[in-house]
Amino acid sequence: MTKFGPHIDRMTAYCTFCPKMCRFSCPAASAEGRETVTPWGMMRLLELAKDGSVALDDDVADAFFHCTGCRRCQTFCAHDNDVPRALWKARSWVVDSGFLPEAYQEMYQRFEEHQSPWDEAQAQIDDSPFDRDASVAYWPDCSTAAHSPELVGAIGRLLEKVLGEPVRLVRSEEAGRTPCCGFPLSAAGIESPEEIRDKRWPGFEGVHTVWTDCAALAAWNHPSSSWQLDDDDTPQMGHIFELLARRLPKIEPPDNPLDAADCLLHQSCYVTRQIDAKDLVDSIVSQITDTPPDKLAYGDDESPCCGGRVHYQVLEPEASDLASQKVVESLERNEGKERMVTTSSMCHHAMDEASEQDVVESLLRWVCEAYEVIS
Ligand code: SF4
Ligand code: SF4
């Protein structure tokens, strides 16, 4: 047994002797076109590196970072291998051994300066719907706060509508903004979730529950995700979809449900496979539409990854764009479909930027529109 433990040892052994059954499913392998960054390639290299058969150097270490964490390979794996779980561990090992890809140094600096992976200044957020003393809080996805700041206040109003009371907005007084949860740092092997919580999270005095639209933060608190936060002290945290699926059927339905007949639903990989929320999404969609969007040809557990996770975008911007473009191009193969709605703010931003066509929309915005909490 190596320091990686029997679970990961077993996974790398399975991959080593596998005929690469999952190869086609990997967004990074497909966009980069390199055998080294297939799930098989990364896991085989880990098998060799962890027992010392291959010495760590910059190239070997770099290979372990080319996984978005989408878990799509796991869907097609007869052994149910959780490849991101193994590769995240490999990343902290190589970073501890002194190998940090250069692209991540800049991202780390941005976190040190303003608690966010995005370099732009945070746009003005309407914090009027929020109550600083509320015991339930909303922690916005950093992509929502950076790229759709008008949605933050609308989500605050939506939460008030379904809960019957205003919620608190999670803010870092030190950074003067709603901070990123820090997931990109752990995905880059730089800090563990526990280190991030202790060093970077704001205080939660008086808060018992935090709702977020960040699937990565929700995944840290989900029992079957690839990575968990070892934590009993912070408030209970969950994805907003959990709350909406439960509460929307209990409030007045929208006066004007949306017609999504011309739309395809992109099921974000973290929402679908890390926090297992696809049924929650279906339930929310059924509440706000009279004609729901169709799913992609590969739907539900097979849904494609857009490559838009920050840690992958920072490392391989062109491949990340290519992966996003491939998902948006599904519209061309589906007659009568002109728009795509996605379940993640990060996917929305990545696909919107990469496609440059203004055809990608956000499911949370749809919910806000249907319940008329956004102007
Ligand atoms: S993850 Fe599964 S399907 Fe993919 S290479 Fe490894 S063993 Fe094979
Ligand atoms: S989790 Fe996704 S990105 Fe990572 S190796 Fe598997 S398919 Fe590729």
Tens of each residue's pLDDT in the chain, 375 residues: 468 999 999 999 999 999 999 999 999 999 999 999 999 999 999 999 999 999 999 999 999 999 999 999 999 999 999 999 999 999 999 999 999 999 999 999 999 988 999 876 667 888 999 999 999 999 999 999 999 999 999 999 999 999 999 999 999 888 778 999 999 999 999 999 999 999 999 999 999 999 999 999 999 999 999 999 987 788 999 999 999 999 999 999 999 999 999 999 999 999 999 999 999 999 999 999 999 999 999 999 999 999 999 999 999 999 999 999 999 999 999 999 999 999 999 999 999 999 988 999 999 999 999 999 998
For residue 311, the CA-to-ligand 1 centroid distance in Å is: 23
Task: Work out whether strand 209-212 and strand 168-169 pair parallel, antiparallel, or are unpaired.
Answer: unpaired
HEC-encoded secondary structure of the chain:
CCCCCHHHHHHHHHHHCCCCCCHHHCHHHHHHCCHHHCHHHHHHHHHHHHCCCCCCCHHHHHHCCCCCCCCHHHHCCCCCCCHHHHHHHHHHHHHHCCCCCHHHHHHHHHHHHHCCCCCCCCCCCCCCCCCCCCCEEEECCHHHHHHCHHHHHHHHHHHHHHHCCCCEECCECCCCECCCCCHHHHHCCCCCHHHHHHHHCCCCCCCCEEEECCHHHHHHCCCCCCCCCCCCCCCEEEEHHHHHHHHHHHCCCCCCCEECCCEEEECCHHHHHHCCCHHHHHHHHHHHEEECCEECCCCHHHCCCCCCCHHHHHHCHHHHHHHHHHHHHHHHHCCCCCEEEECCHHHHHHHHHHHCCCCEEEHHHHHHHHCCCCC
- The pLDDT value recorded for residue 347 is 97
Any ligand 1 atom below 6 A from CB of 269: no
Phi and psi angles of residue 259, each rounded to the nearest 5 degrees, phi first: -100, 115
Q: How many domains does the chain divide into?
A: 3
Any ligand 1 atom below 6 A from CB of 11: no
Based on the fold, state whether residues 239 and 268 are members of the same structural domain.
no
Residue 126 lies in a domain: no
Residue 69 lies in a domain: yes
- The pLDDT value recorded for residue 1 is 46
Based on the fold, state whether residues 61 and 95 are members of the same structural domain.
yes
Based on the fold, state whether residues 59 and 168 are members of the same structural domain.
no
Based on the fold, state whether residues 150 and 238 are members of the same structural domain.
yes
- The pLDDT value recorded for residue 232 is 75
pTM for this predicted structure: 0.96
Residue 105 lies in a domain: no
Residue 118 lies in a domain: no
For residue 218, the CA-to-ligand 1 centroid distance in Å is: 26
Structure tokens at 58: 């910059």
Any ligand 2 atom below 6 A from CB of 73: yes
Question: CB-hemisphere CA count at 13 Å for 126?
Answer: 14
Cα 231–chain centre separation:
20
- The pLDDT value recorded for residue 172 is 87
Ligand 2 atom closest to 305 (CA): 2
> How many Å apart are CA 270 and CA 261, to the nearest integer?
25
Residue 243 lies in a domain: yes
- The pLDDT value recorded for residue 231 is 76
Burial class (CB in 10 A: 0-12, 13-18, 19+), 71: buried
- The pLDDT value recorded for residue 120 is 66
User: Looking at 189, 216, 247, which one is the last position of a domain?
Assistant: 247
Based on the fold, state whether residues 280 and 351 are members of the same structural domain.
yes
Based on the fold, state whether residues 198 and 260 are members of the same structural domain.
no
- Placement of tokens 């008329």 in the chain: 372
Residue of the nearest CA to atom 7 in ligand 1? 15
Pocket probe for ligand 1: among 46, 79, 82, the residue whose CB has the most ligand atoms within 8 Å is: 79
- The pLDDT value recorded for residue 76 is 97
Residue 128 lies in a domain: no
Based on the fold, state whether residues 93 and 66 are members of the same structural domain.
yes
* Helices 39-50 and 6-16, axial angle in degrees (round to 10): 120
Q: Which domain holds residue 39?
A: 6-99
- The pLDDT value recorded for residue 295 is 96
User: Looking at 189, 217, 247, which one is the last position of a domain?
Assistant: 247
pLDDT tens digits for 42-52? 999 999 999 99
Residue 261 lies in a domain: yes
Based on the fold, state whether residues 164 and 83 are members of the same structural domain.
no
Based on the fold, state whether residues 43 and 19 are members of the same structural domain.
yes
- The pLDDT value recorded for residue 119 is 72
Nearest ligand (C-alpha, residue 29): 2
Based on the fold, state whether residues 242 and 259 are members of the same structural domain.
no
